[in-house]
Homo-oligomer: A and B are copies of this chain.
Amino acid sequence: MATKTAAQRREEARVEYDAFIRGCPTHQLLGRISDKWVGLVLSALSSGPMRYSDLGRKIPGVSPKMLTQTLRSLERDGLLTRKVTPSVPVRVDYEVTPLGASLSHMLTAVKDWAETHIDQVHEARKRYDAENLRLR
């Protein structure tokens, strides 16, 4: 019996699951990873492990509660690991897993897209608003 490669198994999974369907578990997972804080945390960690306090400084808009929730959910989903060093004060480091890295580079690309296309989006909004004002 021929053994399936990982790529074949993934391709079969892709056909079985359908994130368009609300009841599909992949729809829930897509909802969870389609989140700006998830994108920013995984982008921040894409260049290497970081301490909790450094993550908070890198993403100054995030509240401690939201940062903790996001990190815990990413840890539970197997996308990052949390390492506690029992020093004084306690040191906590976060690092993406190989699974997390496979998602992280995509979300970093989405973040980069926002940074490189914001001007085109602003121009489009101006055109849309002018057009809709004219039609009123």
Give the interface of A toward B (CB within 8 A): 10-11, 13-14, 17-23, 25-27, 29-31, 33-36, 38-40, 43-44, 58-61, 75-79, 99, 102-103, 106-107, 109-125, 127-129
**How many Å from the CB of A98 to the closest CB on chain B?**
10
Q: Which chain B residue shows the least CB distance to A103?
A: B113
> Among the listed B17, B36, B128, which residue makes an inter-chain contact with A78, where contact means beta carbons less than 8 Å apart?
B128
Query: Which are the 6 A-B pairs with shortest beta-carbon distances?
Result: A78-B124, A22-B61, A10-B116, A34-B36, A31-B36, A17-B115
The CA-CA distance from A102 to B56 in the complex, in Å, is 30
New contact pairs (13) apart from A13-B115, A19-B111, A78-B124, CB-CB < 8 Å: A10-B116, A20-B44, A20-B60, A25-B122, A29-B118, A33-B110, A34-B39, A78-B121, A79-B124, A99-B117, A102-B113, A106-B106, A110-B110
Chain B residues within 8 Å of A123, by CB:
78
The CA-CA distance from A116 to B19 in the complex, in Å, is 10
Check if B25 sits within 8 Å of A116, measured CB to CB: no
A-B contacts, 20 listed (Cβ < 8 Å): A11-B116, A13-B118, A13-B119, A14-B112, A14-B116, A20-B59, A21-B61, A23-B61, A26-B115, A26-B118, A27-B61, A29-B114, A30-B40, A30-B110, A76-B125, A77-B124, A77-B125, A78-B123, A99-B121, A103-B110
